[in-house]
Amino acid sequence: MKAAPAPAPGRVKVEIRGLAMTFGGDGRDVRVLEDIDLDVGDGELVCVLGPSGCGKSTLLNIVGGFLAPTAGAVRIDGEEVRGPDPRRIFVFQERGVFPWLTVEGNIGFGLSKLPPGQRAERIAHYVRLVGLTGFERAYPQELSGGMKQRVEVARALAVNPDVLYLDEPFGALDSITRLVMRAELLRIWEAEKKTILFVTHDIEESVQLADRVVVLSARPGRVQRIVTIDLPHPRDLSSRRYLELRDSIFEEIGLAHKI
Partner 1 sequence: MTDTSPSLLPTAAPIRRGARSVGRILLGFSGVAALALAWDLAIRFGGRTLLPSPAQVAAAIFELTRQGFLVRHVVASLFRVTWGFLLAVLLGVPLGIWLGWNRRARAAAAPLLELLRPISPLAWIPIAILWLGVGDASAIFIIFLGALFPITLAAMNAVAKVPEIYFNAGRNFGLTRTDLVRRVIYPATVPQLLVGLRLALGIAWLVVVAAEMIAVNSGLGFLIIDARNAGNRYDLVVAGMVLIGTIGLALDAAIRRLERSRAVRWGFAAPASPAPRRPRLAPAR
Partner 2 sequence: MTASPPPQRSQATGSRAVTHRAEVILLPALAGLFFLGAWQAAVSWSGTDVFPGPLAVFRGLRELAQKGLLVGYVRDSLFRVGAGYALALAVGIPLGAFLGWNAAAAVAANPVIQLLRPISPLAWIPVAIVLFGVGNAATIFLIFLASLFPVLVATMNGVRNISATHLAAGRNFGLSAIALFLRVIFPGALPNVLTGLRIALGVAWLVVVAAEMIAVNSGLGYLVIDARNAGKRYDLVVAAMLLIGVIGLLLNVLMLRVERLRALRWGFRTE
Q: In angstroms, what CA-CA distances link 216 with 30, 88, 112, 124, 229?
A: 16, 23, 38, 39, 16
Which is nearest to 6 in space by CA: 35, 32, 33, 44?
44
Residue 23 in the binding site for partner 2 (CB under 8 A)? no
Nearer to partner 2, 88 or 212 (CB): 88
* 244 touches 258 (CB < 8 A): no
Positions that interact with partner 1 (CB under 8 A): 21-26, 30, 52-53, 57-58, 61, 65-68, 70, 81-85, 92, 167-168, 171-172
Residue 99 in the binding site for partner 2 (CB under 8 A)? yes
What is the chain's alpha carbon radius of gyration, rounded to the nearest angstrom? 18
Nearer to partner 2, 89 or 223 (CB): 89
- Least CB distance to partner 2 at residue 108 (A): 11
Residue 250 in the binding site for partner 2 (CB under 8 A)? no
Query: Which residues, listed in sequence order, are joined to residue 215 by a DSSP beta bridge?
Result: 49, 225
Residue 45, C-beta contacts closer than 8 angstroms, at least 6 positions apart? 189, 195, 196, 198, 209, 210, 211
| x-or-dash string of contact with partner 2, 156-175, rule CB under 8 A | ---x----------------
Q: Which residues bind partner 2 (CB under 8 A)?
A: 64, 66, 83-86, 88-90, 92, 95-96, 98-101, 109-110, 139-141, 159
